[in-house]
Amino acid sequence: MTALQIPSTALITGASGGIGEEIARQLAARGAHLILVARSEDKLQALAQELSAQHGVQSHVIALDLTRPEAGAELEREIAARGLQVDILVNNAGFGGFSEFWEQDAGEIGRMIAVNIAALTDLTRRFLPGMVQRGRGRVLNVASTAAFMPGPMMAVYYATKAYVLSFSEAVNEELRGRGVGVSALCPGPVETGFQAAADLNQSKLLSGPNRVAMLSAAQVAQIGVDAMLRGQAVAVAGRINQLQVLAPRFLPRAAMTRLIAGIQARREG
């Protein structure tokens, strides 16, 4: 697959902070026009004004809650009404939660599945046909190293990311030879507000002497954008993470699950 040429117009969900914001910065620096989507309109407007002034690109803001079932249809209508065309779709919006599954809030579980799976699938289905018709385009789905293994204490989150990885790989193969590609970006823990929102500070994974080393959101965004533009199907961010995702190939599944349970256990004190 040939590399996608910029300028293009990129739709980025979850663009108000973290990896989504950094992907917007990466694409704007390469000359891509932006459609920024998140719930926080003020943050989006500030980012849009900054990137337009700095890089001379058009930046459009659409404040939207992707947990709502009708959000995808509303977004598609708004983009059409503005006369815009989506050449790059970045499904970055998502969130997690840290607790035993049976104690996790049922509403939180529903919202997590709605954003991490349903919205991602819906938006891909809405904007991918136009890319196929034009014979050019890219989809970047932000998955996780969690996609490669079961995750006790974050059971639903890990499962949603396994869906994202499997879905991305399958659709990318369906698109072979059509000038369009789907990439899955798989970072490990990243220095963003995600950890606090997911209560991950309770976990041994991110605290104490065994705290894992984290890449910055900017580093992960660059890896993801580079991989997407060159048509790479799966990009695991970071050398250590690339080694870690190989573990399920060598450990029995039960042993892998027990290992993750120990790593992600609640920290004492």
Residue 35 contacts residue 84 (beta carbons within 8 Å): yes
8-state DSSP, 115: I
Residue 138: count other Cβ atoms within 10 Å of its Cβ: 25
What are the tokens at 203? Answer: 């976990």
What is the sign of the dihedral through the CA atoms of 22, 191, 100 and 258? positive
Place of tokens 């204490």: 153
Distances (CA, A) of 67 to 111, 113, 168: 6, 9, 21
Burial of residue 214 (number of CB atoms within 10 Å: 0-12, 13-18, 19+):
middle
- 183: β partners: 140
Is 158 one of the annotated active-site residues of the chain? Answer: no
At residue 140, φ and ψ (nearest 5 deg) are -115, 115
| Angle (nearest 5°) at CA 12 between 159 and 152 | 15
In the set 98, 127, 157, 167, the catalytic residue is 157
120 Cβ partners below 8 Å, 6+ apart?
91, 93, 94, 141, 164, 167
User: Catalytic residues, which ones?
Assistant: 157
